[in-house]
Amino acid sequence: MKRVLVISYYWPPSGGSGVQRWVKFAKYLPAQGWQCVVYTPENPELLAVDRTLENDVPEGTEVLKTRIFEPYSFYRKLLGGKSASEGGSNEVNPVNSQKKTFLQRLAMKVRGNFFIPDPRVLWVRKSVRFLKDYLRDHPVDVIVSTGPPHSMHLIAMKLSHECGLPWIADFRDPWTKMFYFKHLELSRWARHRHERLEKQVLDNATVVVAVSPIVQEEFRSMTETPVELITNGFDEDDFADALVEDDGYFNVTHTGLFAADGNPDVLWKVLSEKCAEDEEFRRMLRIRLVGKTDRDIVRSILEASLAENLIDNGYQPHPVAVKEQKSASLLILPLRKEPEYRATLPGKLFEYLASGRPVLGIGQPDGAMAQILRQSGAGQTFDWDDYVGIAKFIDGSWEAFRNGTLQVDVEGTEQFSRRSTARKMAELMDRIVNIP
């Protein structure tokens, strides 16, 4: 069996969609003739904890760990938060367009200008030395780095160069075109340094992988290196095991990270006004939040007089999130209010498709997410300020719920199964291993 070294900052017990991508690859790649060897920190900063994901890691998967030094804990304390292991409830992403205190702005400025590309960069040299020693006695056929954090790509770039191994740079998110990049208050020197490192990674990788067609095209315009598209996806096993719980309520559900700069204010207004006009709707409506939710989101719901309708479950293990998705009447998927999000395909989108429940998207109607919702028939996407469109969608969904006809016929989801995406990754690795 061929072996691939996967360099990833995130690995169980860390939770979240960024972990699931390579956990699921590790689960399904052996059937395609590839065994994953995972290199990850011994002491990462845990934004969420989900030990159920450990069940997906195949027996015999080798996981290599070394300790990391990073200033992130100091940075987090300046931002006034706690880690997941400390029971913290930080902002989903503190680098955004929301107003900041002086200390928060200072912390962001230090993070962006002195730790390039990210606070994990101090792990690069140590990791290259460790992995070179490991590879002398334990050879692999391909290196994969998955970022962010993009310092993982710097480890792989140096290791690939020194060991002569093919290397896939897997970008779960963009680098300089990521939405928060413009909020880092970068100096001209720091911005150029980010851009140079990004270009070096793109140009030196054997293949670059993007998770969205728009990001794929952006990278293709920046490098001669082949750029392939392998999206995120859903695991059919997760959905086969999840039981649907019909509690009789009209459940408007959101799972996963819910950021303040993606707060769908107009949706809360629509729901609030419909509650005021329709007593039955008010009694039957449940707004179910399942995941890490910014305080501003909850505050907006309460200010919209929807307190009695809100059920905030907080962060839950992945199987619970899947059950909530399948049991929802309507799933909501608001993107962040940033122009760069036109290119984004949120990881939860594919699980929403697999749930078979209708999806209300809020974001750019011409973006990547809107295109998939439209093509699959799973739902519609409305602009953040489209009160009329959102209200019409809610009205139609409510009437269909009352009539027992609230369902969608989702098409073309097989291409997004984790088995399918693992097959694509294996084919890509087979191809570059056989390059003379």
Confidence of residue 138 (pLDDT cuts 50, 70, 90): very high
Q: Reduced to 3 states, what is the DSSP secondary structure of residue 59?
A: coil
What is d(CA 255, CA 270) in angstroms, rounded to the nearest whole number? Answer: 20
Say if CB 215 and CB 232 are below 8 A apart: no
Residue 87 has pLDDT above 90, yes or no: no
Among 3.90.550.10, 3.40.50.720, 3.40.50.2000, 3.90.1150.10, what is the CATH number of 2-70+109-232+418-433?
3.40.50.2000
Percent of the chain at pLDDT exceeding 70: 91
Q: What are phi and psi of 251, to 5 degrees?
A: -90, 110
Q: What are phi and psi of 311, to 5 degrees?
A: -125, 105
Decide if 2-70+109-232+418-433 and 236-414 have a common fold.
yes
What is d(CA 55, CA 23) in angstroms, rounded to the nearest whole number? Answer: 10
Residue 82 has pLDDT above 60, yes or no: no
Mean pLDDT of 215-238: 96
C-alpha dist (Å) from residue 96 to 23, 27, 100, 331? 28, 34, 9, 25
* DSSP for residue 126: H
Confidence of residue 99 (pLDDT cuts 50, 70, 90): low
Residue 181's pLDDT is 79
Residue 69's pLDDT is 83
Mean pLDDT of 162-189: 90
Domain ranges of the chain: 2-70+109-232+418-433, 236-414
What is d(CA 152, CA 170) in angstroms, rounded to the nearest whole number? Answer: 10
Please spell the DSSP secondary structure of 292-335, one letter per residue: -B-HHHHHHHHHTT-GGGEEE--S--HHHHHHHHHH-SEEEEEP
Residue 78 has pLDDT above 60, yes or no: no
Mean pLDDT of 214-240: 96
Residue 179's pLDDT is 79
Say if CB 175 and CB 343 are below 8 A apart: no
Please spell the DSSP secondary structure of 340-371, one letter per residue: GGGG---HHHHHHHHHT--EEEES-TTSHHHH
pLDDT digits (tens, 9 = 90+) for 339-383: 888 999 999 999 999 999 999 999 999 999 999 999 999 999 999
Mean pLDDT of 10-33: 94
Q: Which residue, among 86, 85, 27, 81, has the nearest Cα to 54 in the 3D structure? A: 27
pLDDT digits (tens, 9 = 90+) for 7-19: 999 999 998 888 9
Residue 175 has pLDDT above 50, yes or no: yes
Residue 278's pLDDT is 97
Tokens of 278: 């329709």
Q: Which residue, among 217, 172, 165, 143, has the nearest Cα to 24 in the 3D structure? A: 172
Residue 266's pLDDT is 98
* DSSP for residue 60: T
Q: What rounded mean pLDDT belongs to the chain?
A: 91
Residue 85 has pLDDT above 70, yes or no: no
pLDDT digits (tens, 9 = 90+) for 248-306: 999 999 999 999 999 999 999 999 999 999 999 999 999 999 999 999 999 999 999 99
**Count helices and strands in the chain by DSSP H and E runs:** 16, 13
Say if CB 32 and CB 56 are below 8 A apart: no
CATH superfamily of 236-414: Glycogen Phosphorylase B; (3.40.50.2000)
Confidence of residue 88 (pLDDT cuts 50, 70, 90): very low
Least trusted range by pLDDT, from 81-95, 133-147, 258-272 = 81-95
Residue 83 has pLDDT above 50, yes or no: no
What is d(CA 139, CA 272) in angstroms, rounded to the nearest whole number? Answer: 60
The pTM assigned to this predicted structure is 0.90
What is d(CA 408, CA 326) in angstroms, rounded to the nearest whole number? Answer: 12
Percent of the chain at pLDDT exceeding 90: 78
Residue 436's pLDDT is 52
Residue 71 has pLDDT above 90, yes or no: no
Residue 86 has pLDDT above 70, yes or no: no
